[in-house]
Amino acid sequence: MSLKSRLVGTAKRQVKQTLRPVLQRAMAPARTQIPAAYWGLESRHGQGLCLEGVPLKELTRRWGSPLHVVHMAALKRNVERFTAVPAGRTAGCEVFYSYKTNPIPGVLGALHGLGVGAEIISAYELWLALKLGVAPERIVYNGPVKSEASVREAISRGIQLLAANHAEELGTFARIAAEVGRKPRVALRVSTDSGWSAQFGTPITGGAALRAYAQARASSHLDVVGLHAHRGALIRTEGELTGFVEAVLAFTDTLYQELGLDLEVLDLGGSLCTPSAEHIDERDWRLNLTFFRDLPAPDPHAALGISRYVALAVELVEAHYARRGRQRPRIFLEPGRAMTGDTQLLLGRVHTLKEGEDRTWAVLDMGVNHAECVRNEYHQLFHVDRPDAPASRVYTVVGPICTPGDTLYHAKRLPDLEVGDTLAIMDAGAYFVPFANSFSYPQPAIIALEDGHERLLRRAETFEDQVALDVPTGEAPASEKPAAA
């Protein structure tokens, strides 16, 4: 590096360091922390943060660190909110949990025990749902890739709803249905202008979705009963939900008028937010990175909650059909993050504190290998041992996997850390587990905390697990050996 670029680099660093305290104060966000009580955590003298009376730091001592914890009471609370019949209505929504969001059999089993069905998007998930004892009429099958074998199985078993992701799947469904001799209950996934499209769904705008429905209805092998629409773009406000549902409802009118199709099922997908987690805004991200300005914390109470979401969805659909003098369809919901996001947390420990020129690096035993979402979403971080100490020091919180991408928090103000302290990343119940990997480190154990009792749901990976599928060097299994010439 030339002398000139070294001098420029030093000058830039000095400007940033001088500006940091000024900007941190001048541009401080209104909220930088969500209170621990929001998740039912309480701080007890000498014990640190506790959940249901159990000190979190004791959990890592007993079960190892890192550790993924499922709070069963929070899960039950969310299920009750999703499945409750809204006040003044005779029926609510039927709920199918999005398996891919948090595919822990212990969690899925608990959801099914509470009356929630399975929303699956792969042959594996179909297999898992059946293995967990889910009745076929409690399974909705979505997703852009469905193996023929899984479609055959789904049709043979008579699952609740088989949703074509795109019109091209309809031919396969019809052919397999004819072979099996059973008519599947079919929906077509449509996309609205406000949500995901691309490889997902057939667009309403432009008429492609209507043509696909006409094609599906022309097949004598398919029972076209439903419409599937998953917004994808998150729903945080009543306005976002209303806009989405109204676009879908307008299309149900088109189906009725053009094809005489009166839908039995309206599947509104997932996409409701986890109130305490939020996508990090680009500008906030840059200010955090450059000037160590705190990331603003979302206000969970300002976000659309589960109960209001369900009530509003029912209200919109009922009012629409009432105006037309027709019976409203059954409403299916496929929540992922809103159901499980805020019911889990990830615990890890400080392994090293490395002093740098302008910051302290807190190197943890957990990183993006276990908490990928923290890269681009706000997730509250708690100092478990001393939660009430003043958060006076800025740390760059990184993980163990030896790559610069393994940065969980670029600039996070925390109470003073010591090696061995436990930290908790909140809202680990959506898209943490399915995106977790075994990059150089085994994956953590998963436990459930229920009425103050701990129960193992998944043991931690071992080194042996990490090589269990590999063929020992030099030994190819018989089936893989090349045939003798």
Ligand X SMILES: Cc1ncc(COP(=O)(O)O)c(C=O)c1O
Q: Binding to ligand X by residue 344, rule CB under 6 A?
A: no
By beta-carbon proximity to ligand X, the closer residue of 119 and 318 is: 119
- Measured from the CB atom, is 321 or 378 closer to ligand X? 378
User: In terms of Cα–Cα distance, which of 293, 295, 289, 274 is closest to 381?
Assistant: 295
Instruction: Report in angstroms how near the CB of residue 228 gets to ligand X at its nearest.
Output: 7
- From the list 8-16, 330-338, 432-440, 441-449, the region that binds ligand X by CB under 6 A is 330-338
Tell me which stretch binds ligand X (CB under 6 A): 47-55, 60-68, 240-248, 329-337: 329-337
CA distances from 271 to 34, 97, 236, 439 (A): 22, 12, 9, 29
By CB under 6 A, the residues from 75 to 134 that bind ligand X are 98, 101, 119
Find all residues with CB under 8 Å of 170, minimum gap 6, and list them: 164, 186, 188, 212, 215, 216, 219, 222
What binding mask, one character per residue, do residues 412-451 give for ligand X by CB under 6 A, x or -?
------------------x---------------------
CA distance to 194, 236, 371, per residue, from 66 (Å): 39, 31, 11
CB of 335 to ligand X, least distance (A): 5
* Minimum gap (Å) between residue 430 Cβ and ligand X: 6
Q: Are 405 and 368 in contact (CB under 8 A)?
A: yes
Interacting residues with ligand X between 133 and 172 (CB under 6 A): 142
Q: Report if residue 74 touches ligand X, rule: CB under 6 A.
A: no
Closest to ligand X by CB, 55 vs 195, is: 195
| Least distance from ligand X to the Cβ atom of residue 263, Å | 17
**Could you tell me which stretch among 57-65, 216-224, 254-262, 263-271 binds ligand X (CB under 6 A)?**
263-271
* Window contacting ligand X (CB under 6 A); options: 203-211, 264-272, 318-326, 465-473: 264-272
Number of residues that bind ligand X (CB under 6 A): 15
Minimum CB distance to ligand X smaller for 41 or for 161: 161
20 binds ligand X (CB under 6 A): no
Nearer to ligand X (CB atom), residue 142 or residue 215: 142
Of 51 and 306, the one with the shorter C-beta distance to ligand X is 306
Closer to ligand X by Cβ: residue 118 or 381: 118
Tell whether residue 190 is a contact of ligand X (CB under 6 A).
no
380: tokens are 């509250």
- Of the pair 313, 364, the CB lying nearest ligand X is at 313
Shortest reach from residue 383's CB to ligand X, in Å: 29
Q: How far apart are CA 124 and CA 258, in angstroms?
A: 37
- The smaller minimum CB distance to ligand X, of residues 99 and 395, is found at 99
Q: Would you say 196 or 285 has its CB closer to ligand X?
A: 196
Please name the residue that has the structure tokens 């609205």.
192
| Bridge pairing between strands 360-364 and 344-355 | antiparallel
Cβ contact 315:53 at 8 Å: no
Pairing of strands 67-71, 445-450: parallel
Report whether 200 contacts 165 (CB < 8 A).
yes
Among 270, 296, 300, 399, interactor with ligand X by CB under 6 A: 270
The radius of gyration of the chain's CA atoms, rounded to the nearest angstrom, is 25
| x/- letters, 219..258, toward ligand X (CB under 6 A) | -----------x----------------------------
Q: Does 265 help bind ligand X (rule: CB under 6 A)? A: no
Q: Rule CB under 6 A: is residue 365 a binding residue for ligand X? A: no
Cα distances (Å, whole numbers) of residue 127 to 39, 52, 137, 160, 333: 33, 35, 15, 15, 21
Cis geometry, peptide bond prior to residue 298 (ω within 30 degrees of 0): no
Which region, judged by CB under 6 A, interacts with ligand X, from 335-343, 366-374, 416-424, 463-471?
A: 335-343
Interface positions with ligand X (CB under 6 A) = 98, 101, 119, 142, 230, 269-272, 334-338, 430
